[in-house]
Amino acid sequence: MVDHDGCALSYRVQGEGPPVVFIEGVGVHGDGWEPQVDGLGEHFRCLTFDNRGMGSSQPLVGRLSVERMAEDVLTLLDAQGWESAHMVGHSLGGLVAQHLGLTACPRVRSLALLCTSSKGSDLTRISGPILKLGLLTYLGTRRMKRHAFLRLVLPPSLLREHDRDESAAQLAPVFGHDLADVPPVVDHQLAALRAYDATSRLAELAGIDTLVVNAEHDPIAPPRFGRALAERIAGARHVEIADAAHGVTVQRADEINALLLEHLSRGAGIASAAAA
C-alpha cells in the first residue's frame, strides 16, 4: 500500500527486468492484468494496481479524474524508486497513459494503448446496442446482467461456442467481482472518461514509442478509434485483433502478450530474449 491524496493505493510488483506499469479500465481491479504478468514477468518487472476507489484502493475521496489517476501512477513509480517505466493502459487506463505521456514524458519509456481512444466521450457514447446492454447490466436479473456484460467484452463467436454462465463464472475473478455487480466507483470512472480529451495534443507524443491495439468486435472502443489515435501520433503502430472484443487482454492473452513483448523489448534492450 502507498497513501496518496486521501487514498491507500493497493499494488503488486512481480517479475524481473525493466519496469512496466499496467493501468486498468473501468470496473476492473489490478489483478485483471494477471494474464499479462504471467506472460511477461520473465522479462519485465510488472506493477499492477487497483485504481482509486476500486478493489483494495480505498477510499474514493473527492472528484475522480484522468489527471488524478495519472498522479496516482506517478506516486507508485516514486514508491518503487523508478525514474521511468513503460506504460500499458486498457480503455480508461489508455487515457491515463496518454496523459502521463503528455505531462510526465521523461517518466514514460513507451506507451501501449489497448482498446481505447484519445477522447473519453468516444468510449461512453450512447448507441442503440450499448444503451440496451447498459440497461440490462443495471436493471435485469442477475443472470441477465452477467450475460449483458459478456456481450460487452466477448466476441459473438465465443458467446455462441461457450456456455455463458460458465464464462461469467470464469471471468468474475479476473474482473474482481461477480459480473452481475457494478462497483460503486464505475459511475465516477465513466464521468472521468467523459471529461477527458487528449486529441488536440496527440502530436506531442511523437517522441514516445507507441503501440495501439484494438479488437475487431469491440462495441466500446471499435477499431476506428484506435486507427484515428495511431494516425495522430507520429510513428505509432496500430494492430487490430480479429474475432476479439473489449476483453481481448484475457480472451486473446497470448497474442496480446506477444505484441507487448515485441513492443516493450524494442526499448528495453532485450530483443534477443524476446526472440528466444
Distances (CA, A) of 46 to 7, 25, 72, 151, 172: 22, 17, 16, 29, 22
CA 135 – CA 103 distance, rounded (Å): 36
Whichever domain contains 94, its CATH number is 3.40.50.1820
| Residue 48 DSSP SS3 | strand
What pLDDT does residue 214 have?
Answer: 97
> pTM, whole model, 2 decimals?
0.92
What pLDDT does residue 140 have?
Answer: 76
What pLDDT does residue 262 have?
Answer: 97
CA 178 – CA 183 distance, rounded (Å): 10
Q: Give me the domain span that covers residue 145.
A: 2-275
What pLDDT does residue 200 have?
Answer: 97
Distances (CA, A) of 122 to 169, 184, 225, 240: 29, 22, 8, 18
| Domain total of the chain | 1
What pLDDT does residue 182 have?
Answer: 86
CA 133 – CA 145 distance, rounded (Å): 8
If you count them, how many residues does the chain have? 276
Low-confidence ranges of the chain (pLDDT < 70): 126-138, 267-276
